[in-house]
Amino acid sequence: MQENISEKRLGGCALGGTLAVTAFIRDGITVIHAPQGCAHQMFSGFHAMMADAGLSRIPKVIVSNIQNREAIFGGEEALAEALDRAEEDSPALISVVTSCVPETIGDDTEGVCAAHPASERIVYIPASGFLGGSSQAGENTALIRLAALAEPKEPIPRTAALIGEKNLESEVEENYAEVCRLLNRLGIKVILRFCRNIEAAEIVRLGEAAFFIIRDERVEEAGITIANRFGRPYVSAFPSGLSGSISFLQEAGKACGIPEEEIAEAVFAEEEYQREQLAPFAELAGTSVALGFEPFAGCHAVAREAMERIGISESADGMPVKLPFYLPVGAAGVLKMLYLWRREKRR
């Protein structure tokens, strides 16, 4: 039986995951301490994924270009030169990301960063290439290291910071909008998307958030580490599907210390909203669909819940329908899925 796609299986090298965080600090530069080939391969794939997600911006990336000479004599000098080149651009932040080579030969990357004149604006992220594990591990490492730039402050009531959005998924902005829509029912404002098209100076706002919302289990390690560091509650994932939106409201409200009556009102309003939004899909009632392969664990459950609400049945010889690649976020994700099913039926 074919397994669900686990993001842990998408690993192999931590560099890509790290870049998926650091490249979304708009006024920052990422220095990759690696051979040119590693940086090229990784950046090519990364840039293609960015383009696929509709992002035309090219992030600033510099490579230290470790060659045979550096592998033998150490790459610290090459890194220092790359930092000098990065500094010429006066970036607000320089994220130094390592591949496996400097970590294997024992370069003191942290020492070079600390000794550089711009050290106060440099963050060393020991991605360590394949030694660092997977892309997922790289993402977590980057988030944890960058979060160290922020100090705990007095939390601002009814504020949240998002941790580890999937910067390369095409629905990232739609998902963000859906989360904001739900939080708005509770009067909660997102003060930081860590790290989604932010400026380096904004990172300090992590310390002001009343609670954190972790994107999903993929960045759970970073999310929990950050929440513990600031001593704040967290919600462990974006809402998935219809009932997931309700429980998200309840969790977020509780994490933010919102009175129960207010949360109940928000839940009631959301349930009403979901009924209204599902109404236009009544024409799918009585349809039989074949769900097929589940890309990510939980997709089937979200789809089946929506099917039950509308009156859609499931059978192997039913109308083949496509499931979203990632878990549908909130009611919006479900509505988008149903819209595609309805279009398929009308054909």
Partner 1 sequence: MRQIALYGKGGIGKSTTSANLSAAFSEKNLSVMQIGCDPKHDSTRMLMHGRWIPTVLEQMYEKKDIKEEDIIFEGFGGVRCVEAGGPEPGIGCAGRGIIATFQLLEKMQALFGDVVVYDVLGDVVCGGFALPMRDGYAEEVYLVTSGELMSLYAANNISKAVARLGGRSTAKCKLGGVICNAKNMDNEYELVKEFAERIGSKLICYIPRSKSVQAAEVNRMTVLEHDPASEQADVYRSCADAILANDDFRIPTPLSLEELEDLARKYL
Rounded Cα–Cα distance for residues 118 and 192 (Å): 25
Q: Tell me how far, at minimum, the Cβ of 125 lies from partner 1, in Å.
A: 21
Report the C-alpha gap between 229 and 207 in whole angstroms.
9
The CA distance from 175 to 76, in Å, is 41
| CB 98 to partner 1: min, Å | 15
Residue indicated by tokens 């600033």: 60
Among residues 7, 76, 169, 208, which is the contact residue for partner 1, using CB under 8 A? 76
How far CA 123 is from CA of 162, 281, 321, 330, 336, in Å, comes to 21, 50, 46, 35, 39
- Residue 68 interacting with partner 1 (CB under 8 A): yes
69 scored as a contact of partner 1 (CB under 8 A) = yes
Distance CA 268, CA 291 (A): 30
Q: Closest CB to partner 1 among 75 and 253?
A: 75
- Give the residues across from 320 on adjacent strands: 290
Please name which of 42, 149, 22 lies closest in space to residue 99, comparing C-alpha atoms.
Answer: 42
The piece of 23-31, 102-110, 210-218, 219-227 that touches partner 1 (CB under 8 A) is 102-110
- Using CB under 8 A as the binding rule, whether residue 67 contacts partner 1 is answered as no
Q: Which is nearer to partner 1, 103 or 221 (CB)?
A: 103
Segment lying near partner 1 (by CB under 8 A), choices 62-70, 160-168, 174-182, 198-206 = 62-70
Binding window for partner 1 (CB under 8 A); candidates: 42-50, 103-111, 323-331, 339-347: 103-111
Q: Would you give the distance in Å from CA 314 to the centre of its chain?
A: 32
- Report how far residue 202's alpha carbon sits from residue 147's, in angstroms, rounded to the nearest whole number: 11
Query: Minimal distance in Å, beta carbon 189 to partner 1?
Result: 50
- The minimum distance between CB 78 and partner 1, in angstroms, equals 11
Residues that bind partner 1 (CB under 8 A): 68-76, 104-107
